[in-house]
Amino acid sequence: MDRERLRALLEAVAAGQTDVAAAMERLATLPFEDLRFAHVDHHRGIRDLMPEVVLAQGKTAGQVAAIARSIAERSGRFLVTRLDAGQLSALREAVPEVRDLPEARLAWYDPAPRPRLGNVTVVTAGTSDIPVAEEAAVTAELMGAAVHRFFDVGVAGIHRLADKLPALRQANALVVVAGMEGALPSVVAGMVDVPVVAVPTSVGYGASFGGLAALLAMLNSCAPGLAVVNIDNGFGAGYLAATINRLAVEGGRTGAGD
């Protein structure tokens, strides 16, 4: 159950449209639901900006489908990351209205999307970084952020970034995704006055060590205002950027050059 559903339930009780016993029944599994193989945290949608997110990696197709269906029934929406084809097939059977982005290994169910406000801008160094960037972008959108995307503007052709700078400076938060040597977040952070969330990816040749070179480069950046998440962690970056965006919107900043 998320905040909107909880508020609606409490208002229904206050208005006499739902009795206390019925409300208690609906709240009985609010803290969590025991599925034997998982304790699904239905309280998270009240504490945080979105319900519990399902990491599909390491789970069976049946487990992924059961957890997602449970979240959908209680919270009305869900996000599943790191899906394989078998898990996605089972998820589609459990929740036919689910949407997916196979290249980013994502699926989500959001039949009543929240208004998208503010400005989170997602930037990639290369085309190969797009799957991780889309994980960040979709996460931020599900959390109510308006998201703008600029792909393939890395330092190998730095002129491609120049005409994007006015748009980047209007964001409330930037997510900058790069593999290889991981230089782009430092360059961007040195040219804007908004928070930058850097995402190293596992894209690169042998000496990139599966993204470790990019991670270390970002952690050692001299550019201020730069935060770094783990390798390929688009979800974490999108969540952080959307949280920053929400605070900016609540503070009166639209992210449109105001």
Q: Render pLDDT for 56-87 as a digit per residue (tens, 0 to 9).
A: 999 999 999 988 888 887 777 889 999 999 99
The CATH T-level fold of domain 117-250 is Rossmann fold (3.40.50)
The pLDDT, as a whole number, for residue 84 is 94
Percentage of the chain beyond pLDDT 70 is 86
pLDDT tens track for 132-174: 999 999 999 999 999 999 999 988 888 888 889 999 999 999 9
* pTM as predicted: 0.82
CA distance readout (Å), 231 to 184, 202, 213: 15, 7, 10
> Residue 254's pLDDT band (boundaries 50, 70, 90)?
confident
Between strands 145-150 and 173-178, the pairing is unpaired
pLDDT at 90: 94
What's residue 129's pLDDT? 97
From start to end of 102-212, where are the E strands? 106-109, 117-124, 145-150, 173-178, 196-200
**Among residues of the chain, what percentage have pLDDT more than 90?**
62
Residue 176: both structure tokens together:
């900058």
**Phi first, then psi: what are they for 224, rounded to 5°?**
-75, 160
The domain locations on the chain are 3-109, 117-250
